Chain A
Amino acid sequence: MKGLGEKSTAYFCYLIVNVWWYLSCLMGILFAGLLSYEFFGSSHPNSIFGLTLPIKSDLITLKNPEQYEYLSTGPAKGMIDFDYILQHTPYAYITWAIFIAIAIALFLLGLYQLRNLLKSATNNTIFTGENVRRLKIIALLVFLVEPLEWLAYYLTIHFLGPASEIIAHGIGEFKLEMPLIGSDWTFLIGGLLLYTLAAVFEKGNEMYQELKLTV
């Protein structure tokens, strides 16, 4: 049996991702349970869940007007309590719960693929067709982050826009941010890099198959 010092880097990465995977599963189950509890259970004004929305800077006022001499306000974010949304627009709550469930499921799928990829690396069977498929799935999920983020904003506008009483009584107007058109290309570049890695793995798999048939 190998000692701890002789274990490969892939093994330690696998251990970390494995723990992360199980914790994420647990968190996912807890999250689903809490969302259901919020919906079916009694009212809890101090909910731990909320919908974060950007607030225009001109809507923010400082407590002491004298502070304007040396302080300026920028855009801030406010959180609408999910319980409040549930009471005023239950349909919005259900849609958000479904959306969050899908987002968590996609995250878990990506993490599961990464876990299996590292597991195969510990078994010295890294260049396989299955791993190429796994990498492509992870790349696709990374690509999906930005559109999903955009969809989240769209849902916010669609469901909370007409619910003017929430906006008036709560945090005021909010403006739509378009992350897809913004300057954050991290996920797009990340996805492309993963696709490149998948192509490298594809070639590696081809070479490995050739090596296996070399006498």
Chain B
Amino acid sequence: MAIKVNLDLMLVKRDMSLTELSEKVGVTISNLSILKTGKAKAVRFSTLNAICEALDCQPGDILEYEITGEE
């Protein structure tokens, strides 16, 4: 996948645990883990909005486009 998720990096920066984020955003830990490990196929705008609000950041801080050879 060319889209890299930097959620773990933002969590470290904000000194927040995944459980804490899960409570604030209202998304289950397993779903956040899917997002964090890059297994997610799609992200809802509402989820992205809630994550940005909880971490006080921009979508670009969480998502990054990575140029890979295969695509």
Chain A interface (Cβ < 8 Å from any Cβ of B): 209-210, 213-215
Contact = CB atoms under 8 A, between A and B. Distances in A.
Contacts, number: 23
B41 interface: yes
B40 interface: yes
23 contacts: A209-B41, A210-B41, A210-B42, A213-B34, A213-B39, A213-B40, A213-B41, A213-B42, A214-B40, A214-B41, A214-B42, A214-B43, A214-B44, A215-B27, A215-B31, A215-B32, A215-B34, A215-B35, A215-B40, A215-B42, A215-B43, A215-B44, A215-B47
B22 to A, nearest CB: 11
A213 B38 CA distance: 10
Most chain B CB neighbours (cut-off 10 Å) among A209, A213, A215 = A215
Interface string B42-53: 111001000000
A98 to B, nearest CB: 50
Nearest to B30: A215
B3 to A, nearest CB: 13
Contacts of B40: 213-215
Contacts of B39: 213
Contacts of A213: 34, 39-42
A137 to B, nearest CB: 29
B44 to A, nearest CB: 7
